[in-house]
Amino acid sequence: MNDEKKYWIGFNLVKGIGSVRFKQIQAHFGNLSEAWLAPIEIFRDIGIPAKALKNLSAVREEVDLDRLCETIANDDVLVLTLLDEDYPRLLKEIDQSPPVIYIKGSLTPADEFAVAMVGTRRVTAYGQQVARDTSTYLAGHGLTIVSGLARGVDALAHQHALQAGGRTIAVLGCGVDVVYPPEHRQLAEAIVENGALISDYPLGTQPEGSNFPPRNRVISGLSLATIVVEAGERSGALITADFAVEQGRDVFAVPGYIFSPASRGTNRLIQKGAFVMSSPQDVLDVLDLSQIEDYKDARQVFPADTTEAKILQVMDYEPMHIDEICNQTQLPIEKVSASLTLMELKGMIQHVGGMRYSAIREIGGK
């Protein structure tokens, strides 16, 4: 991790310094490493609020950034800033993109073909069926499913995307090292292996209620469109739909029984102009994703999990012995050997003999 990124992480710890203040500070100082060492008076002169300055002083005094970066690395968490080329393109396009995001798992170029699925926690039998069929269909057609790991529709969207052999991304209203709700820990672990947990909150952040509306903004920001499966009149899913509209992204709503409280929000979205989703194919048609099948065929050359991603990160076109791969990735030889076999079948690497392997094409995610 480079020194400049370390200071982005540092400023991200400061309550009261968000996307707008980040840009303000960066514009004044040119880089955040210089800003981190600057006197508080300069921040006051450029209009940073007093409360944020008090928080900044506390963080600079109390936090050892080098030790924090070690912890992040040891937890196998990737940190991306707006300066990184790998920062998700769709998220970077929205106004006030999160300056820093934390990722547990992996992102691939295929994740640019993503749709959000959100809805009520108190999902009905009808909503369960819609969530199951929609996630299965879209994931099966190569789309990445984005949701928020919450109870109800969110969990169903993630689960059925995984069961369909697809990828899924969970955006959290807490740190990526804090699973909420706690009963979704096993689901979160499965997502890490076949997608990613993402948060713009620092490690250790607890799931406070005020964290979730901003979280919803990231869900829609990562997605080409947002599908609202079921939502009551005050459902948080409607906040996600509002953000999608602000971001210029399409919104789909599933029509429901007019006397069902769980469908009042979705029916109202339709009245306001959301696309009616009567079939998952509607989403592919409206987004003009008829080419997604061809793209899905190409997805086999992207790393499917964190093990493959780690192996690709250390490999080059020059042959490497399996022992060297294990040494550089710090992975057990049994896991590396099994992954290398699958990766060779996918056409990602080649076995050149003598337990030596090399990359054979440019791979997404490397």
pLDDT > 50? residue 34: yes
Same structural domain for residues 134 and 56? no
- What pLDDT, on a 0 to 100 scale, did the predictor assign at position 290? 60
CATH of the domain at 234: 3.40.50.450
pLDDT grade for 349, boundaries at 50, 70 and 90? confident
Cis bond upstream, residue 319 (ω within 30): no
- What pLDDT, on a 0 to 100 scale, did the predictor assign at position 321? 92
The more confident residue out of 2 and 287 is: 287
Q: Which runs of E-coded beta strand occur in the chain? A: 78-81, 100-105, 114-118, 144-147, 168-171, 195-199, 225-228, 250-253, 275-276, 320-321, 349-353, 356-359
CB contact at 8 A, 12 and 201: no
The more confident residue out of 223 and 315 is: 223
Supply the pTM of this predicted model. Answer: 0.79
Same structural domain for residues 181 and 257? yes
Same structural domain for residues 210 and 316? no
Same structural domain for residues 20 and 109? no
Question: 121 in a domain, yes or no?
Answer: yes
- CA–CA dist 235, 256 (Å, integer): 15
Question: 77 in a domain, yes or no?
Answer: no
Scanning 247-279, the segments in alpha helix (DSSP H) are 264-271
- What pLDDT, on a 0 to 100 scale, did the predictor assign at position 215? 95
Distance of CA 260 to the CA centre of its chain: 32
Same structural domain for residues 276 and 136? yes
Range scoring the smallest mean pLDDT among 70-79, 307-316, 323-332: 307-316
Same structural domain for residues 236 and 165? yes
Query: Where in the sequence is the domain holding 60, given as residue range(s)?
Result: 1-67
- What pLDDT, on a 0 to 100 scale, did the predictor assign at position 303? 64
Same structural domain for residues 311 and 293? no
Q: Up-side HSE of residue 178: CA atoms within 13 Å toward CB?
A: 15
Mean pLDDT score of the chain: 90
With tokens 């804090």, the residue in question is: 178
- What pLDDT, on a 0 to 100 scale, did the predictor assign at position 366? 39
